[in-house]
Structure 1
Amino acid sequence: MTSTVSSSHTKLITEAIEKLRSFCQINIQSTWLYQESDQNTVVATSDLSQWTPVELNDKGSIAWAGGKQVLWLAQKIVVPQDLQGYPLAGLSLRLALLWWADAAEIYVNGELVLEGDLFDCSPRVLLSQGITPGEEFIVALRLVSPGHDNGALVRSLLVYESNDYNRPDAGFVADELAVVQLYLERFAPEKLDDLAGMVREIMNRKDVKIEKEEWENILLTVRHRLQESDIYRRASASIGDSKSKFYLLGHAHLDLAWLWPVSETWNAAQRTFESVLKLQQDFPELIYCHSTPALYAWIEEHRPDLFTAIQEAVAAGRWEVIGGMWVEPELNIIAGESIVRQLLYGQRYIQEKFGKLSPIVWVPDSFGFCATLPQFLVNAGVEYFVTQKLRWNDTTKFDYGAFWWRSPDGSEVFSFMSAPIGEGIDPVKMAAYACEWQTQTQLPEALWLPGVGDHGGGPTRDMLETARRWQHSPFFPELKFTTAEKYLEQIRTEDTENTNFPVWEDELYLEFHRGCYTTHGDQKRWNRRCEGLLYQAELFASLATVSCGVKYPQAEIETAWKQLLFQQFHDILPGSSITQVYIDALPQWQQVEQAGTKILQESLLAIASHITLPQPPQPESLPVVVFNSLNWQRSEVVAVTLPTPATVNHQWQIYDVSGNQLVSQVSKASTLLFLASDIPSVGYRLFWLVPTSSLPPSPPLPAGWVLENEFLRVIVNPDTGDLSNVFDKTHQREVLSGAGNQLQAFKDSGQYWDAWNIDPNYAQHPLPPTTLKSIEWLEQGAVQSRLRVVRQLGESEFCQDYILQAGVPLLKIATTVDWQENQVLVKAAFPLNITADFATYEIPCAAIRRSTQRQTPAEQAKWEVPALRWADLTGETDELSYGVSLLNDCKYGYDSQPNQLRLTLLRSPNWPNPEADRGFHEFTYALYPHANSWESAHTVKRGYELNIPLQVIVNSVSNHLPILSTNDKVSFLNLSADNLILMALKQAEDNPQQLILRCYECHGDTAKLSLQSDVELSLGDEVDLLERSATQEFSSQQQIFTIQPWKIVSFKIIPEPQS
Structure 2
Amino acid sequence: MNQKIIVHMIGSAHIDPVWLWRWPAGVVEVLSTCRTAANLIDKYEKFIFCRSDVWVYEKIEKHDPELFERILNFVKKGKWQVPGGWYIQPDCNLPLAASFRKHIEFGEKYFQDKFGQKVNVGYNVDSFGHSASIPVLLQEAKYDSYVMMRPMKHEMSLPSNLFRWQGENESELITWRIPHSYNASDPEHLKKNISTALEESNTDVPHVMCFYGVGDHGGGPTEQLIEWINDHADDSKDYRLEFSHPRRFFDEVIPFRNKIPVYKGELQMHAVGCYSVVSEIKQGIRKAEHSIQRAERAIENLNYGNDSEKKREKELLDQAWKKVLFNQFHDTAGGTSIYEACEDAKDQLSASISSADAITNAKCFDHLVRLPKDKLQRIVVFRFGQYDYEGLFIHEPWIHPNGFHSTFNGVLLGESGNEIDYQIVNQSALLGPPRALIWEGSMSASKELIIRLIPKRNSKIFKSDIKIKNFQVSNSFYSIQPGNDTILLKTDTLIKGKHFLSHNHIKLNLYKDRSDTWSHGIKSYRDKLKGSFKITKHTIEESGPIRATIRIEAKFRNSSLVTRCSIYRKRPWIDVNLQIIFVEKFTIAKLIVPVFKTSTRIDGIAEGYIERHQNGNECSFINWTFIKNINSKNSEGMGIVSPDCFALDGQNGILRFTLLRSPVYAWHDPKKVDDEVSFRNTDQGFHQFRFRIIQNIKLEELNYHADWINNPPYGMDWTNGVINI
TM-score with structure 2 setting the length: 0.90
Q: CA deviation at 1:783?
A: 1.6
Task: Establish whether residue 651 from structure 1 lines up as the match of residue 408 from structure 2.
Answer: yes
After TM superposition, give the deviation of residue 897 of structure 1 in Å: 2.3
* Corresponding residue to 2:662 among 898, 904, 908: 908
Which of 499, 515, 521 does residue 734 from structure 1 map onto?
499
Q: 1:418 aligns with which of 168, 173, 178?
A: 178
SS in 2 for 1:683: coil
2:662 is paired with a residue whose SS is coil
Structure 2 distance, partners of 1:755, 1:431, is: 28
| 1:150-188 alpha-carbon deviations (Å, 9 max, x no partner) | xxxxxxxxxxxxxxxxxxxxxxxxxxxxxxxxxxxxxxx
Structure 1 or 2, whichever has the larger Rg, is: 1
| Residue 670 (structure 2) aligns with | none
Cα drift, residue 735 of structure 1: 5.6
Partner of 1:401: 161
Change (3 A) 1:646 1:704: farther
Instruction: Indicate whether 1:575 and 2:335 are aligned.
Output: yes
Partner residue in 1 for 2:397: 642
User: Of 509, 532, 551, which residue of structure 2 is paired with 1:744?
Assistant: 509
Kindly indicate whether the alpha-carbon contact (under 8 Å) linking 2:234 and 2:241 is maintained by their aligned counterparts in 1.
no
Counterpart mapping for 1:428-447 below 5 A: 428-438=191-201, 440-447=202-209
Match for residue 771 of structure 1?
534
Deviations 1:868-918 (A, max 9, x none): 000011132375565211110221101122522221111101141633111
Structure 2 equivalent of residue 521 of structure 1: 279
Q: 1:838 to 1:548 in 2, by over 3 A?
A: farther
SS class of match (2:657): strand
Q: CA deviation at 1:582?
A: 1.3
Distance 1:951 1:286 in 2: 58
d(CA) in 1 for partners of 2:40 and 2:719?
Answer: 64
Q: Is the 8 A contact 1:776 1:789 kept in 2?
A: yes
Structure 2 residue aligned with 1:930: 696
How far has the Cα of 1:392 moved from its partner? 5.9
- Aligned letter for 2:260? F
Q: For residues 695 and 363 of structure 2, what CA distance do their matches in structure 1 show? A: 36
1:342 maps to 2:95: no
Partner of residue 345, structure 2: 585
How far off is 1:824 after superposition?
0.7
Judged with a 3 Å threshold, the aligned counterparts in structure 2 of structure 1 residues 591 and 583 are, in CA distance, closer, same or farther, namely same
Single out whichever of 329-338 and 274-283 deviates more from structure 2.
274-283
Are the structure 2 counterparts of residues 256 and 650 from structure 1 closer, same or farther at C-alpha, using a change threshold of 3 Å? closer
Using a 3 Å threshold, how does the CA distance of structure 1 residues 405 and 494 change in structure 2: closer, same or farther?
same
2:261 to 472, 486, 502: 502
1:483–1:884 Cα change, 3 Å: same
Q: Is the Cα contact below 8 Å between 1:701 and 1:777 reproduced in 2?
A: no
Distance in 2 separating the partners of 1:303 and 1:449: 27
Q: Deviations over 1:313-345 (max 9, x none)?
A: 111211101211111011111111111101001
Deviation, 1:654, is 1.8
Verify: 1:780 aligned to 2:538, yes or no. Answer: no
Matched, 1:324 2:85: yes
Per the alignment, in what secondary structure is the counterpart of residue 790 of structure 1? strand
CA contact 2:483–2:490 (8 Å) conserved in 1: yes
Is the 8 Å Cα contact of residues 875 and 883 (structure 1) preserved in structure 2? yes
Structure 2 alignment gaps of length 5 or more: 427-432, 668-679
1:713 CA displacement = 2.0
User: What TM-score does the superposition give when structure 1 sets the normalisation length?
Assistant: 0.62
Q: Which residue of 1 aligns with 2:147?
A: 386
Distance 1:956 1:480 in 2: 74
Q: Name the CA distance, whole Å, in 2 between partners of 1:502 and 1:869.
A: 33
- SS for the counterpart of 2:302 is helix
Q: Confirm whether residue 869 of structure 1 aligns to residue 623 of structure 2.
A: yes
Q: Which residue of 2 aligns with 1:840?
A: 602
Note if contact 1:816-1:921 (Cα within 8 Å) is conserved in structure 2: yes
Aligned to 1:818: 581
Is residue 691 of structure 1 aligned with residue 452 of structure 2? no
Between 1 and 2, higher relative CO (CA 8 Å, sep ≥ 6) is seen in 2
Shift of 1:787: 1.3
Q: CA 1:393/1:599 → structure 2, altered by over 3 Å: closer, same or farther?
A: farther
Partner of 2:378: 623
Query: In the alignment, residue 91 of structure 2 is paired with which amino acid?
Result: E
Counterpart of 2:324 in structure 1 is 564
What secondary structure is seen at the aligned counterpart in 2 of 1:362?
strand
- The separation in 2 between residues aligned to 1:329 and 1:391, in whole angstroms, is 18
1:744-799 residue CA offsets vs partner (Å, 9 max, x unmatched):
211011x3x43444855632411122221211222212122121111112331111
Identical pairs, percent: 21
Q: 2:439 aligns with which of 650, 675, 680?
A: 675
- 8 Å Cα contact 2:579/2:689 also seen in 1: yes
Find the aligned partners of 1:675 and 1:631 in 2 and give their Cα distance: 21
Q: Name whichever of 259-268 and 897-906 sits farther off.
A: 897-906
The answer as to whether partners of 1:390 and 1:398 remain within 8 angstroms in 2 is no
What amino acid is the match of 1:417?
R
Distance 1:382 1:534, change over 3 A: same
CA–CA separation in structure 1 for the residues paired with 2:148 and 2:692 = 36
Contact 1:642 1:670 in 2 (8 A): no
Does the C-alpha gap of structure 1 residues 582 and 284 become closer, same or farther in structure 2, counting only changes over 3 Å?
A: same
Change (3 A) 1:759 1:382: closer
2:132–2:266 CA contact under 8 A, matched in 1: yes
Matched residue SS, 1:247: strand
The SS at the match of 1:746 is strand
C-alpha distance in structure 2 between counterparts of 1:367 and 1:638, whole Å: 39
5 Å matches for 1:176-187?
A: none
Shift of 1:248: 1.2
> How many residues get paired?
694
Aligned equivalents of 1:457, 1:630: Cα separation in 2: 45
**Partners in 1 of 2:652 and 2:626 — Cα distance?**
11
What residue is the counterpart of 2:229 in the other structure?
Answer: 467
Aligned to 1:482: 244
Shift of 1:608: 3.5
Does the CA contact (< 8 Å) of 2:274 and 2:517 recur in 1?
no
Change (3 A) 1:776 1:352: same
- Matched with 2:676 is none
1:699-747 per-residue CA deviation (whole Å, 9 max, x = no partner) reads 999672222234322222144452222223x432336432432112110
Shift of 1:864: 0.9
CA distance in 1, matches of 2:469, 2:657: 31
SS in structure 1 opposite 2:119? coil
Deviations, residues 583-616 of structure 1 (Å, cap 9, x unaligned): 2112211111111111111112323433446xx5
Query: What is the Cα deviation at residue 566 of structure 1?
Result: 0.8
Instruction: State the Cα deviation string for residues 281-319 of structure 1 (Å, max 9, x = none).
Output: 322211000011011101111111111111111112111
Output the CA distance in 2 between the equivalents of 1:252 and 1:904. 35
With over 3 angstroms needed to count, the CA separation of the structure-2 counterparts of 1:745 and 1:719, relative to structure 1, is closer
Question: Would the aligned equivalents of 1:576 and 1:756 in 2 still touch at CA under 8 Å?
Answer: no
Mapping for residues 164-183 of structure 1, pairs under 5 Å: none
Distance verdict in 2 for CA 1:661–1:547, change over 3 Å: farther
Sort the Cα spacing of 1:871 and 1:666 in 2 relative to 1 into closer, same or farther, 3 A: same
Question: How many angstroms does 1:475 deviate by?
Answer: 5.5
Task: Give 1:646 deviation, angstroms.
Answer: 5.2
CA spacing shift, 1:244–1:879, aligned 2, 3 Å: closer
Deviations 1:368-416 (A, max 9, x none): 111121121112132211111121643x433322222221121112211
- Given the superposition, is the C-alpha separation of residues 704 and 719 from structure 1 closer, same or farther in structure 2, using an over 3 Å criterion? farther
Contact 1:324 1:361 in 2 (8 A): yes
- In 2, Cα distance between equivalents of 1:943 and 1:301: 40
Deviation at 1:351, TM superposition (A): 1.0
Residue identity in the other structure for 1:410: E
Q: Provide the secondary structure at the position in 1 that maps to 2:345.
A: helix
From the superposition, tell whether residues 697 and 655 of structure 1 become closer, same or farther in structure 2 (CA, over 3 Å).
closer
User: Which whole-Å CA distance do the structure 1 matches of 2:211 and 2:35 have between them?
Assistant: 19
Residue 363 of structure 1 deviates from its aligned partner by: 0.3
Q: How far did residue 645 of structure 1 move? A: 6.3
